[in-house]
């Protein structure tokens, strides 16, 4: 009973039929919509302040987004599996300090970055183990690790502080240098993003993350190693938070025990604004990255337009609610369209049977 | 153990002396089963006889407490569904288990997608293979559309395609035809015959006895978790099979007292909730038990929820004893004399961690509260009274309901609602997953309530229960009421025809 394709003609047509096209279009639209909002916002700002898109301006926009894009990419994977990792801010903070301390002691820059990633990986692994083995809601588990990691960080760091002056010049230069307007950290984030998206879209393990977020029970019955996949998602998320810590150090050069405090909420906002559904199973890392870009850009846009930066948080909140509302409406529309399509097919079949 | 008389082919998959318990419930007791290559084997038994547990044991979901699973005569231990699948065992479950966000093609090939270089999934090949499967099944489902929004029948077709998609040596089907139309069933049987001719072993579970006789060669009958018989179907009649399955006087299990219907107690007119159910009208009279039958997903539970006011409705009206109910107001419905015993007692019927006393007391807070405080003594005496009347078996009334068996939990839910003195009682799957003894008690109770003048609307997927208990059978199909059959004319055939929409075509 091997699957054969006796007649390739109808097969070639199948992917082009109405339903999939409609849905694909809507899904792509979701990311397109954020992109459009982003571009419109940038255009308006540029019109109001011609200095905004100077070389340094673009560079700043990208640099500001880089760290959030990295962490949001990792977070997306976790959210797709119907979980969440609230400890990313703490992980970012402690990895940044670890890398900084290592560099302060005269360590190699590449090894410092690796160290941050490894530390993040370890903490991600810990989260993953607790969530997948403990069968406890991820929200609570990672809230616990958020405080634990932050606490350990505070004890270790105390009132110490790492400043750019303590770091090798090359490392700090790396944080701001790049290919014309493209900073090195932004290129790294882009590479990570593309690789992750490819894994999610084209590899079995990536698709299984969507499957288990979409219906955990069905995933179990389909023989998907649910725990191992969740563990992998958390580990990857932790690794990216660690990498983001190293990038943070390179960008700002300034790290203390409060670094990354409250960052997890910004990350979750970016992911949700980017269209990754909080109940799992749907969304893309590109969307999350665009969400991150949009949210961080507001930080630069408002001051450039002469609006006080106290408005930033409120605007972020409005965007978040708007994104959720749009998602809900789109979901209802799609469901209705699919149902109608199903009904039509069914009526057609019934008719055919009646005729026969 | 009765072996087939001739040595014949060796079984591909077998169970030897398998037992499995969940807490105090013995789901399977020392069960043996042999699936031979090229043979379609039926598994018969009432609801709760242990069929699903047996299937899940073969599928690697449950591991037996005692006994062995034999693959090609060798004992194996499946550590999960993946192991069973790798051994060539395909399972179609009663309730489809799909990923709503993923495409039909991905649903079918999840974990086994065709790959290109470097392990990348070949999406095009996946879709092509899916299209080929759909062609083989003769349906026009688009491989690229997400599973969300598929009708139950279409979901079942995707499940069947999934089972076909890999070289299954053993195909297990748990009520695959429940949601299918006649032509779809015929097509499925064609596929099953081809598979078994190619040497696959098939295990087939169905409540439709005619289908068992149509396609199966042998039958294993389970009752209360134990194997009653393993015999060839040739020479048996449907009555023989029913007797083996039930094993007791049907009248004892369904103690229906004759009742004279009084005035209309519940009247539902043209009730519609968009996309869920449409134009549903019916009446239930005092003293009457009305069965509401239909397939899973036909909208029965949704109608009950709307009538009780848990969900809103878009159009229509509901009257309880001549009083019109506002939509979406359960407390008004309760005050009017309506009670709803929900389908899922663990999630919707009970607060599992709370005591029996308090669970029963929940619906009586109106009467036991004085000056804003709960009168604990009144609550206790009221709860004790009902627990005793329904013969709930418990150690102490202050014990958490989670310590009770399923049947006794169900009695607590019933007690909780009967304590409100309802004029209309809606029960949703009142005996699902409870043992036969308690089942008979619940039936006796419903019958007595009706005799006392309560109007009972009983939703059930258990056809013998509907036929045994109801004065009238309402049938729903895809959100519409398709039949209203009086007791005298209600048969398995007439109800199933209406439930699958076959009567309409």
Q: Of residues B303 and B408, which shows the higher confidence score? A: B303
pLDDT tens-place string over residues B368-384 = 777 777 888 888 888 88
Looking at the domain assignment, is residue B483 inside a domain?
A: yes
Q: Are residues B190 and B81 in the same domain?
A: yes
User: Under the phi-then-psi rule, with left for phi > 0, alpha for psi from -120 to 50, and beta for the rest, what region is B448?
Assistant: alpha
Domain boundary among B214, B247, B280: B247
How confident is the model over B177-189, as a mean pLDDT?
A: 76
Do the beta carbons of residue A158 and residue A257 sit within 8 Å? yes
Q: What's the pLDDT score for residue A336? A: 75
B241, B272: one domain: no
Count other Cβ atoms within 10 Å, centred on residue B482.
Answer: 19
- Residues B266, B181 within the same domain: no
Pick among A4, A214, A345 to test the B interface (most B CBs inside 10 A): A214
Nearest by CB to residue A338, choosing from B99, B111, B149, is B149
Contacts of B38 in chain A (CB under 8 A): none
The pLDDT, as a whole number, for residue B378 is 82
> Residue ranges per domain, chain A?
67-262+275-286
What is the band of B505 on the pLDDT scale with cuts at 50, 70, 90?
Answer: very low
The answer as to whether B126 is a domain residue is: no
Q: Do A338 and B98 touch (CB under 8 A)?
A: no
**Structure tokens, A136:** 């406890």
Residue B57 and residue B66 in contact, taking contact as beta carbons nearer than 8 Å = no
B151/A218 CB distance under 8 A: no
Q: Is the pLDDT of residue B436 over 50?
A: yes
**Looking at chain B, which residue has its C-alpha nearest residue A207?**
B110
- State the residue range of the domain holding B61: 13-98+150-247
> Which of the pair, A181 or B423, is modelled with greater confidence?
B423
What chain A residue is nearest to B151 in terms of C-alpha separation?
Answer: A342
Phi, then psi, of A73 in degrees rounded to 5: -60, -50
Q: Which pair of structure tokens corresponds to residue B490?
A: 């209600």
For B37, phi then psi, to 5°, come to -65, 140
Of A249-263, A277-291, B207-221, where does mean pLDDT reach its minimum?
B207-221
Give chain A's mean pLDDT. Answer: 85
CB contact under 8 A, A19 and B99: no
Taking phi first (over 0 means left), then psi (-120 to 50 degrees means alpha), and beta for anything else, what does residue A39 get?
alpha
Same domain, B156 and B302: no
- Which residues in B lie closer than 8 A to residue A327 (C-beta atoms)? none
pLDDT in the model for residue B224: 81
Model confidence at B345, in pLDDT bands (50, 70, 90)? confident
What's phi and psi for B482, nearest 5 deg?
A: -105, -15
pLDDT of residue B108: 92
CATH number at B162 reads: 3.40.50.300
B179 touches chain A (CB under 8 A): no
C-alpha A134/C-alpha B222 separation (Å) is 37
How many CB pairs lie under 8 A apart between chains A and B? 158
Kind plus residue range of the DSSP H or E element containing B463: helix B463-469
Residue A354: per-residue pLDDT = 46
Token pair listed for A81? 């599996």
User: Which residues, including other chains, have CB under 8 Å from residue A228's CB and lie 6 or more apart?
Assistant: A132
Q: Which residues contact A137 (CB under 8 A, 6 or more apart)?
A: none
pLDDT, tens digit, for every residue of B262-275?
A: 899 999 999 999 88
Average confidence score pLDDT of chain B: 85
What pLDDT does B278 receive? Answer: 92
With beta carbons less than 8 A apart as the criterion, state whether A14 and A270 touch. Answer: no
* Cα–Cα dist A243/A128, whole Å: 18
Most confidently modeled of A148-157, A299-308, B239-248? A148-157
| Length of chain A measured in residues | 356
Give B58→chain A minimum CA distance, Å: 12
**Is residue B504's pLDDT more than 50?**
no
R_g of chain A, CA atoms, integer Å: 23
For residue A350, the chain B residue with the least C-alpha distance is B505
Report which DSSP code applies to B120.
Answer: B
Q: Kindly state whether residue B2 falls inside one of the protein's structural domains.
A: no
Percent of chain A with pLDDT over 90: 52
Whole-number pLDDT of residue A178:
80
Return the residue in A204, A210, A284 with the most chain B beta carbons within 10 A, the one to mutate for interface testing.
A204
Per-residue pLDDT at A153: 95
Quote the pLDDT of residue B115: 87
Q: Rounded to 5 degrees, what angle do the CA atoms A221, A224, A226 make?
A: 100
Instruction: Supply the pLDDT for residue A342.
Output: 65
> Do A214 and B135 lie within an 8 Å CB cutoff?
no
Classify residue B212: in a domain, yes or no: yes
Query: Are residues B262 and B243 located together in one domain of the fold?
Result: no
Higher pLDDT, B318 or A325: B318
Cα angle for residues A92, A81, A17 (degrees, 5° grid): 125
Per the structure, the count of domains in chain B is 2
- Does pLDDT of A332 surpass 60? yes
pLDDT per position as a tens digit, A276-320: 988 899 899 999 999 999 999 988 888 888 888 888 888 888 888
Average pLDDT rounded to a whole number, residues A1-8: 39
| Residue B221 domain flag | yes
The verdict on B223 and B309 lying in the same domain is no
Binary contact (B139, A213; C-beta < 8 A)? no
CA–CA dist B158, A233 (Å, integer):
28
The Cα A216–Cα A201 span in angstroms is 19
Sheet holding B480-486, edge to edge: B338-341, B424-428, B455-459, B289-294, B472-477, B480-486
Contact B154 A223 (CB under 8 A): no
Q: Which of A1, A221, A348 has the CB atom closest to B97's CB atom? A: A221
Are A67 and A244 in contact, with CB atoms under 8 Å apart? yes
Whether B344 and B215 map to the same domain: the answer is no
Given a cut of 50, whether residue A179 has pLDDT beyond it is yes
Q: Classify residue A348 as exposed, middle or buried by CB count within 10 Å of its CB (0-12, 13-18, 19+).
A: exposed
Q: Which of B247, B264, B293 is the last residue of a domain?
A: B247
Query: How far is CA A33 from each of CA A302, A321, B254, rounded to the nearest angstrom?
Result: 21, 15, 60
* A279–B contact, CB cutoff 8 A: no
Question: In the beta sheet, which residues pair with residue A140?
Answer: none
Residue A23: predicted pLDDT: 59
CA B407 vs CA B45, B74, B358, B395, B402: distances in Å: 19, 38, 18, 15, 12
| Pair B339, B453 in one domain | yes
Instruction: Choose the final residue of a domain: B216, B231, B247.
Output: B247
Q: Is A281 helix (H, G, I), strand (E, B) or coil?
A: coil
CA nearest neighbour of A217 among B98, B59, B150: B98
pLDDT of residue B251: 60
A20/B111 touch (CB, cutoff 8 Å), yes or no: no
**Rounded distance, CA B414 to CA A271, Å?**
46
Hey, which residues 192-221 in chain B have their CB within 8 Å of chain A? 195, 198, 200
Q: Which residue has the tokens 């969507």?
A: A210
Q: Are residues B216 and B269 in the same domain?
A: no
Residues B277, B398 within the same domain:
yes
* pLDDT at residue B140, as a whole number: 82
Whether B140 contacts chain A with CB within 8 A? yes
Q: Which residues neighbour A55 within 8 Å (Cβ) at sequence distance 6 or greater? A: A180, A181
Option in B85, B149, B182 nearest A223 (CB) = B85
Same domain, B363 and B242: no
SS3 at position A193: helix
Indicate whether A351 pLDDT > 70.
no
The answer to whether the beta carbons of residues B203 and B173 sit under 8 Å apart is yes
What average pLDDT does the segment A196-219 reach? 92
Determine the average pLDDT of the residues in B279-304.
Answer: 91
- Collapsed DSSP state (helix, strand, coil) of residue B311: coil
Contact call for A211 and B135, based on CB within 8 A = no
Q: Confirm whether B1 is domain-assigned.
A: no
pLDDT band, very low/low/confident/very high, at A324 (cuts 50, 70, 90):
confident
Q: What is the pLDDT of residues A7-43, one digit of tens each?
A: 333 333 334 444 555 555 665 677 888 888 899 999 9
pLDDT at B24: 64
User: Region B39-43: what's the mean pLDDT?
Assistant: 94
Q: Kindly state whether residue B134 falls inside one of the protein's structural domains.
A: no
CB A150 within 8 A of CB A140: no
Distance, in Å, from the CA atom of B446 to the CA atom of B454, rounded to the nearest integer, reads 9
Scanning the structure block, which residue is given the tokens 């990348």?
B120
Burial class (CB in 10 A: 0-12, 13-18, 19+), B349: buried
Window 282-311 of A: residues touching B by CB (8 A cutoff) are 282
CB contact under 8 A, A222 and B150: no
**Set of chain A residues whose Cβ sits within 8 Å of the Cβ of B81:** 220-223
Which range, A49-63, A220-234, B82-96, B202-216, has the best average confidence (pLDDT)? A220-234
Helix (H, G, I), strand (E, B) or coil at B27: strand
- Of residues B431, B495, B440, B426, the one with CA closest to residue B467: B495
DSSP conformation class of B35? E
Q: What is the mean pLDDT of residues A315-331?
A: 83
Residue B312 lies in a domain: yes
Report the pLDDT averaged over residues B405-425.
87
B259 shares a domain with B236? no
Q: Are B106 and A220 an interchain contact pair (Cβ–Cβ within 8 Å)?
A: no
Burial of B421 (0-12, 13-18, 19+ CB in 10 A): exposed
* Residues of chain B above pLDDT 90, percent: 34
Measured between beta carbons, which residues in chain A are less than 8 angstroms from residue B91?
A: 221
């Amino acid at each position: 009973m091997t699957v054969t394709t006796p007649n390739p003609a109808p097969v070639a047509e199948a992917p082009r039929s109405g339903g999939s096209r409609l849905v694909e279009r809507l899904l792509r639209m979701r990311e397109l919509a954020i992109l459009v909002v982003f571009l419109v916002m940038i255009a308006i700002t540029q019109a109001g302040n011609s200095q905004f898109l100077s070389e340094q301006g673009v560079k700043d926009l990208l640099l500001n987004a880089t760290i959030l894009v990295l962490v949001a990419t990792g977070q997306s994977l976790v959210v797709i599996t119907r979980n969440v990792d609230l400890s990313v801010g703490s992980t970012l903070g402690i990895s940044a300090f670890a890398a900084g301390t290592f560099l302060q002691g005269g360590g190699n820059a590449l090894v410092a970055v690796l160290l941050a990633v490894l530390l993040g990986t370890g903490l991600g692994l810990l989260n993953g183990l607790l969530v997948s083995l403990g069968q406890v809601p991820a929200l609570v588990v990672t809230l616990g690790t958020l405080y634990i990691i932050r606490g350990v960080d505070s004890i270790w760091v105390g009132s110490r502080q790492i400043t750019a002056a303590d770091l090798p010049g090359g490392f700090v230069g790396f944080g701001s240098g790049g290919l014309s307007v493209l900073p090195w950290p932004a290129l790294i984030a882009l590479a990570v993003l593309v690789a992750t998206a490819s894994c999610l879209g084209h590899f079995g393990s990536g698709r299984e993350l969507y499957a288990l977020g979409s219906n955990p029970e069905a995933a179990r019955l389909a023989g998907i190693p649910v725990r191992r996949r969740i563990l992998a998602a958390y580990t990857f998320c932790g690794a990216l938070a660690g990498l983001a810590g190293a990038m943070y150090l390179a960008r700002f050069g300034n790290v203390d025990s409060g670094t990354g405090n409250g960052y997890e909420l910004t990350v979750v906002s970016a992911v949700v604004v980017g269209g990754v559904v909080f109940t799992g199973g749907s969304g893309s890392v590109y969307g999350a990255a665009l969400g991150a870009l949009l949210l961080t850009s507001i930080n630069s846009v408002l001051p450039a337009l002469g609006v006080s930066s106290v408005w930033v948080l409120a605007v972020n909140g409005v965007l978040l609610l708007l994104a959720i509302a749009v998602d809900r409406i789109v979901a209802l529309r799609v469901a209705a369209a699919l149902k109608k399509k199903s009904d039509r097919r069914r009526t057609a079949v019934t008719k055919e049977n009646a005729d026969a | 153990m009765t072996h087939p008389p001739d040595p014949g082919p060796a079984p591909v998959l077998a169970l030897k002396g398998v037992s499995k318990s969940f807490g105090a419930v013995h789901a399977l007791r020392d069960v043996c089963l042999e699936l031979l290559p090229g043979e379609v084997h039926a598994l018969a038994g009432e609801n709760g006889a242990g069929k699903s547990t047996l299937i899940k044991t073969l599928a690697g979901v449950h591991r037996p407490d005692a006994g062995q699973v034999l693959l090609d005569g060798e004992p194996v231990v499946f550590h999960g569904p993946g192991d069973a699948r790798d051994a060539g065992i395909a399972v179609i479950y009663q309730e489809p288990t799909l990923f709503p966000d993923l495409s039909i093609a991905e649903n079918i090939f999840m974990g086994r997608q065709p790959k290109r270089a470097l392990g990348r999934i070949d999406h095009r090949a996946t879709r092509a293979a899916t299209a080929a499967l759909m062609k083989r099944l003769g349906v026009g489902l688009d491989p690229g559309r997400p599973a969300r929004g598929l009708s139950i029948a279409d979901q079942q077709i995707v499940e069947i395609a999934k089972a076909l998609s890999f070289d299954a040596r053993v195909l297990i089907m748990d009520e695959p035809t429940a949601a299918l139309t006649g032509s779809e069933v015929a097509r499925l049987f064609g596929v099953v015959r081809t598979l078994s001719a190619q040497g696959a072993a098939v295990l087939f579970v169905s409540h439709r006895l005619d289908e068992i006789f149509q396609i199966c060669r042998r039958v294993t009958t389970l009752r209360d978790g134990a194997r009653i018989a393993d015999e060839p179907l040739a020479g048996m009649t449907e009555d023989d099979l029913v007797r083996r399955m039930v094993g007791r006087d049907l009248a004892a299990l369904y103690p229906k007292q004759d009742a004279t219907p009084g005035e209309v107690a519940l009247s539902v007119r043209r009730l519609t909730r968009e996309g869920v159910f449409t134009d549903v009208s019916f009446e239930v009279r005092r003293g009457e038990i009305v069965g509401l039958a239909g397939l899973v997903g036909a909208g029965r539970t949704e109608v009950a929820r709307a009538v009780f006011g848990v969900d809103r409705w878009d159009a229509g009206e509901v009257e309880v004893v001549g009083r019109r109910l506002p939509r979406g107001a359960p407390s008004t419905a309760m005050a009017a004399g309506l009670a709803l015993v929900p389908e899922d007692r663990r999630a919707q019927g009970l607060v599992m961690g709370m005591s029996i006393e308090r669970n029963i007391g929940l619906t009586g807070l109106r009467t036991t509260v004085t000056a804003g405080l709960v009168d604990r003594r009144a609550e206790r005496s009221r709860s004790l009274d009902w627990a005793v009347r329904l013969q709930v078996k418990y150690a102490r009334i202050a014990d958490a309901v989670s310590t009770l068996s399923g049947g006794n939990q169900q009695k607590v839910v019933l007690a909780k609602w009967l304590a409100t003195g309802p004029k209309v009682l809606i029960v949703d799957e009142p005996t699902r997953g409870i043992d036969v003894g308690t089942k008979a008690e619940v039936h006796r109770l419903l019958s007595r309530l009706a005799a006392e003048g309560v109007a009972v609307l009983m939703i059930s997927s258990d056809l013998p229960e509907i036929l045994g208990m109801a004065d009238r059978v309402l049938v729903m199909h895809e959100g519409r009421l398709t039949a209203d059959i009086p007791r005298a004319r209600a048969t398995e055939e007439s109800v199933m025809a209406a439930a699958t929409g076959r009567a309409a075509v």
